[in-house]
Copies of this chain bind each other. A is one copy, B any other.
Amino acid sequence: MHALYVAGGHVLRPDGTIVEGDVLVDRDAGRIDAVGSDIAVPADAETLDAAGGLVIPGLVNAHTHVAMTLLRGYADDKPLDAWLQEDVWPVEAELEPADVAAGARLGVAEMIRSGTTAFADMYFEMDQVADVVAESGMRARLGHGAITVGKDADAAHADFETALAFAREYDGAADGRISTMLTPHSLTTVDETYYREYVPQAREAGIPVHVHANETTDEVEPIVSESGQRPLAYADDLDVLAPDSFLAHCVHVDAGEIDLLAERGTAAVHCPASNMKLASGMAPVQAMLDAGVTVGLGTDGAASNNDLDMFDELRDAAMLGKLAADDASAVDAQAAVEMATVGGAAAIGIDSGRIEPGANADLAVVDLEVPHLTPRHDLVSHLAYAARGSDVRHTVCDGELLMRDREVLTVDVDAARAAAQERATALVERAA
């Protein structure tokens, strides 16, 4: 066995306990082989020093638009609708494939540096994103975001055909690290007709569906007034809700919609930072967890966050979940950590998010020997409330090292930064 031996640290187990121990990774299979303190280690295993560190599952960013790193800080302090129409969409209309590649490479570098090993991405020019994922060693579920509002039928169909063709072509790419999804942009920006035409085709091909849903009240009201149903009942009518579907945001969901998610086995992806920054509202996360809904966490795009650091998202989820529930015991540290790991993995349909034999060998090692993670009363609390992306020392995905001792190995970070700056400057000039 071609092995990686993550040695000398503490390990976060799936039940939330922390043990002193090591992790043996089978690199050929890309899976965790053993966890414990008396593992038989192959003589030729490569050792990764985790002394003074905590081995955690690689974090799962279950909803993002990674290439939007190019627009980080381009327009802030505006509500969703104005921000999209006045700032984001005009610039996105000028996007070239090389922009998407540059933004994706920057975002991937940022995610690897902060311990994220997998993400779900909905955007344009997704073959560019797929190439970056392939070269970076990360894991991702990718979909071309299809929009039909403001388009004639030919253009709308063409957009969905692009989405479907991408999903079919890239599913299983990069030795299986890339999977795909059909991603109608949202319940309001895609006409009913196209849901009815394309969702069945995705189902038939075994491709999950991922949609923005119930993000703002502005998105809820038109559906209620036009269809007479709550948005998720409408989505159910369109066959969007299925066990492999996952919905981004779910901020304004009522009790009936939460029950519907639970019944259908459809996951929600909570994006607390984006929801705060756009003043969209507070998702009822504890209520969703109580109902048995699978909840993952996402950063959303860097333009509405403004970073891709899942430790921020974890902390925001725990914090905001308490305010939303008006209960300081809601969304506790363990729940937040689960959403960022096993919850997100379940939402996007990958066998990651837990340090356990058989699971994908996607993990990160967090350096505990810093003032802000001292003293060690409770390391799960530290993960939720005090750790940050910069505490990540090593990142491993599919059994391979993506970052070692804070040096990213699969992306040339300086080159990625320079290219992103150059493309962003030119992009904004074109759009002006």
Q: Is the CB of A73 within 8 A of B385?
A: yes
B residues near A277, Cβ cutoff 8 Å: 318-319, 322, 328, 385
**A414 smallest CB distance to B (angstroms):** 8
Q: Does A147 contact B (CB under 8 A)?
A: no
How many copies of this kind of chain does the complex include? 2
What mask results when residues 310 to 334 of chain A are scored 1 for a CB within 8 Å of chain B, else 0? 0010011011101101111110110
Given the known interface contacts A279-B322, A371-B416, A377-B428, the answer about A386 and B327 at a Cβ–Cβ threshold of 8 Å is no
State which residues 34-84 of A face B: CB under 8 Å: 69-74, 76-80, 83
Q: Which residue of B lies closest to A73 (CB)?
A: B381
Contacts of A397 in B (CB 8 A): none
The reply to whether A279 and B386 form a contact with Cβ atoms under 8 Å apart is no
The segment from A6-14, A176-184, A349-357, A418-426 found at the interface with B is A418-426
Contacts of A294 in B (CB 8 A): none
Interface magnitude class on chain A:
35 or more
**Is there a chain B Cβ closer than 8 Å to A309's Cβ?**
yes
Contact yes or no, B371 A279, CB < 8 A: no
Q: Which 5 A-B pairs have the closest CB atoms?
A: A390-B390, A73-B381, A276-B319, A306-B385, A375-B424
Counting chain B CB atoms within 10 Å of each CB, the highest count among A77, A316, A390 belongs to: A77
A372 within 8 A of partner (CB): yes
A397 to chain B, nearest CB (A): 17
* A80, A276, A329: most-surrounded residue (chain B CB, <10 A): A276
A-B contact pairs, 7 of them (CB 8 A): A70-B375, A77-B322, A77-B333, A273-B319, A279-B330, A375-B420, A375-B421
Please measure, in the bound complex, the distance between the C-alpha atom of A389 and the C-alpha atom of B323, giving whole angstroms: 25
Contact: A329 with B276, CB < 8 Å? Answer: no
Interface string of A87-116 (1 = CB under 8 A from B): 000000000000000000011011001100
Q: Is the CB of A333 within 8 A of B282?
A: no
Nearest residue, chain B, Cβ from A76? B381
A175 at the interface (CB under 8 A from B): no
A73-B378 in contact (CB<8A): yes
CB A169 to nearest CB in B, in angstroms, measures 29
B328 touches A80 (CB 8 A): yes
In the assembly, what is the distance between CA of A352 and CA of B369, in Å? 32
Interchain CB contact under 8 A, B386 and A73: yes
Q: How far is the CA of A181 from the CA of B62 in the complex (A)?
A: 48
Given contacts A76-B332, A282-B323, 17 further A-B contacts (CB under 8 A): A72-B386, A73-B379, A73-B386, A77-B330, A83-B328, A276-B322, A276-B323, A277-B322, A277-B385, A279-B325, A279-B326, A307-B372, A307-B385, A308-B372, A316-B319, A372-B389, A375-B424
Asked whether A382 lies within 8 Å of B306 as measured between CB atoms, the reply is yes
